[in-house]
Amino acid sequence: MGPLRVVPAPYDGPLVAPLLAALDADLAERYPGEGIAPPVLTAREFTPPAGTLLVALLDDEPVGCGAVRPAPFPATGEVKRMYVAPQARGRRVAERLLRDLEGAAAGLGYRRLILETGQRQPEALRLYARCGYLPVEAYGHYRDSPLSVCLGRDL
């Protein structure tokens, strides 16, 4: 595979749709019967100046995505829809996406990022720990979810 590029893309665009479908399938496999459903998200949340969505490309093929949207706290963004395709894992694609999202979030005026991941996503938990994310109080509809892990990091 060639060099990794990370580019902005519209949430409802053709580069992103297959990645989000793969993410949803992965979550359904990890959490069968748990009724895990992504919150209702809109393209506007991931469009500057509110937020952004980035796509990772290897050989011009989309292999990962991640987004930031406004969080329900002052100067805070929420990381959403982080995913890396199996064929690109182990190449630090997720770390690059996350670091680029942090830079984009800072450029949008956010001073802190929060996120929710799940207990059955050990790869994500390792990534976020490696990148300095620490436990925060559960928020929003994750507050009552026993499988949710909420993390945050100052930018």
Q: Tokens 């748990």 map to which residue?
A: 34
| pTM, 2 dp | 0.94
Helix (H) or strand (E) holding 98: helix 93-107
Q: State the fold for domain 4-154.
A: Aminopeptidase (3.40.630)
Whether 40 has a pLDDT exceeding 90, the answer reads: no
Measured CA distances, 90 to 10, 80, 86, 110, 129 (Å): 26, 20, 9, 29, 16
The model's pLDDT over 2-17, given as tens digits with 9 standing for 90+, comes to 789 999 999 999 999 9
Name the residue ranges covered by the structural domains of the chain: 4-154
